[in-house]
Amino acid sequence: MIAVNIICVGGLKEEYFRLASKEYEKRLGAMCKLTINEVEPAALPQEPNAAQITAALQKEAVLIEKKLLANAVTYAMCIEGKQLSSESLAADISRAAVGGKSALNFIIGSSCGLSDSIKQRADVRLSMSEMTFPHRLARIMLLEQIYRAFSINAGTKYHK
């Protein structure tokens, strides 16, 4: 069973997001070994300058790197990444498993994004949309798409 490791900068504060996350965690439990790792966002002043943001992203990168699984395909969630259909993500997951990978890492950054070092380390830069979403909602959307991809690969009726 392939491991799916979601690394998020920051946590879910709102109960409705936590409930949605738990629902997809439950659904995915039969399809993969899911782990959600939350790392603490670096502190920033109210109006940070570019240097402060870069330094914060680097601090977060150190924490993210400690959570990455080995022998994995790593996806950095970033707006400049490529967009995939649900079917294409399902095919990517299937290729990873057939290709001998034991895990998938998905990384969701803070409101300031991800450091360049994390983006460069990733195998895939993935964008959900050209629109911007709060990272809490992005986590739920990602969980749903991972569930949808596993459902497609299993041939279930969830994906229409």
SS3 of residue 48 by DSSP: coil
34 is a domain residue = yes
For the domain that residue 13 is a member of, what is the CATH number?
A: 3.40.1280.10
Domain span at residue 121? Answer: 3-43+69-154
Of residues 55, 18, 63, 62, the one with CA closest to residue 39: 63
DSSP per position, 61-79: HHHHHHHPPSSEEEEEEEE
- For the segment 84-101, what is each residue's pLDDT rounded down to a tens digit? 999 999 999 999 989 999
Q: Say what percent of the chain tops pLDDT 90.
A: 90
From CA 54, how far away is CA 77, in angstroms rounded? 17
Phi, psi of 28 (to 5 degrees): -75, -15
The residue among 111 and 4 whose pLDDT is bigger is 4
**Is residue 146 in a domain?**
yes
The count of domains in the chain is 1
> What's the pLDDT at 159?
62
pTM, full prediction: 0.94
